[in-house]
Amino acid sequence: MLTLVVMIPESYVLYLYIQSIWVKFASFRPASTIIWLKEFQKFDDNSSAINVGNGVNKQLTDMIMQWRRPGQKLVVGKPEYKSTIETFLGIPCLHDEVVMEVMWGMQRFMSNFVPAEESKLPKEDSLPMSQGLLMFLSRYGFDVKPEMVNEDIVRAAATLFHCDIIEKKCCRALLDVGHYLKRESGIDYENWDTLKLATAFKIICSRKIGGSDEMFSDDVQSKLLDADADKYKDLVYARDCLRLYENLVAAYNVRAVKKDELALLVKRANADEAEQARSITTII
């Protein structure tokens, strides 16, 4: 049994959503900013350390008491650990879907968190796939079984997630100034996507239509380029608008590449799973 005492700020657990926690564990660097090793002990027999009937042994109890501070909750990976520790030690514990997402991430980088420990978790202690990751893949139209998800898929999905975050940030910033289009030029932008809105302000600030002529009608182009362009001089910051546009275009381009890459990775994973199924059938 591997026992790892990890202190995770409770506020962080409470405010992170299950849909996004997995991204923190796509690579070790961000994971190490929210989880760090306090102490490590190894138990060869799970029941010798913690048992529903007998409680928690002295060795594990001493380790918990050494690092746990008043008011802190202990994050545990199994419901029976929660009930046993709360009953015998009187320490409140956390065990829910959010915690299981964190535990999944810890398992991914156990060798990083505990370099001296080389043994692998037994199959019965391994956690299922991150639910947040599976939900994210599903939103992009990828039907992926937990056993199909590999390191490449996790990293590609994480890049897509960050592209989405960039778009959301750009969207919020653009909506703050978007109402000027309606007020100053009578342009109805309500149904525009984020890129079209960013492109409109890029045109206003650069006085160049570039390759975006097909995105707007002749009337809107005229207002953005000439008729009303001067009205925006004291309303928007050209540098900020151009930076938003550049960041958004970059995110769109990366996302297109990563979506294709992810589609290929999922296709390969499906093929590998099918091949394994055929091999098992042949053996039987």
| Model confidence pLDDT, tens digit, residues 99-128 | 888 888 888 888 888 876 665 555 444 556
Question: Which of 99, 127, 155 corresponds to the end of one domain?
Answer: 127
Q: Give the lowest-confidence range in 19-28, 36-45, 151-160, 197-206.
A: 36-45
- Domain match, 102 and 160 both: no
- DSSP string computed for 75-118: E-SSHHHHHHHHHHT---EE-SHHHHHHHHHHHHTHHHH-TT--
CA 239 vs CA 29, 68, 193, 199, 245: distances in Å: 32, 49, 21, 14, 10
- Domain match, 136 and 213 both: yes
Q: What is the dihedral angle through the alpha carbons of 59, 63, 68, 74, rounded to the nearest 10 degrees? A: -70
Q: What is the pLDDT of residue 121?
A: 53
Into how many domains does the chain fold? 2
Whether residue 282 is predicted with pLDDT greater than 60 in this model: the reply is no
Burial class from Cβ neighbours inside 10 Å (0-12, 13-18, 19+) for residue 252 reads middle
- Domain match, 195 and 251 both: yes
- Domain match, 95 and 190 both: no
Number of H helices, E strands in the chain: 13, 6
Range of the domain at 209: 129-284
- Domain match, 143 and 282 both: yes
Instruction: CATH number of the domain at 154, please.
Output: 1.10.287
| More confident position, 270 or 74 | 74
pLDDT tens digits for range 220-230? 998 888 877 78
- Domain match, 18 and 111 both: yes
- DSSP string computed for 146-191: GGG--HHHHHHHHHHHHHHHHHHHHHHHHHHHHHHHHHHH----TT
CA neighbor of 229 nearest in space, from 180, 194, 191: 180
- Domain match, 208 and 228 both: yes
For the segment 72-95, the average pLDDT, to the nearest whole number, is 91
- Domain match, 250 and 171 both: yes
Residues 199, 211: Cα–Cα separation, whole Å: 10
Q: Which residues contact 28 (CB under 8 A, 6 or more apart)?
A: 109, 112
pTM as predicted = 0.81
- Domain match, 97 and 184 both: no
- Domain match, 117 and 230 both: no
Residues 135, 97: Cα–Cα separation, whole Å: 13
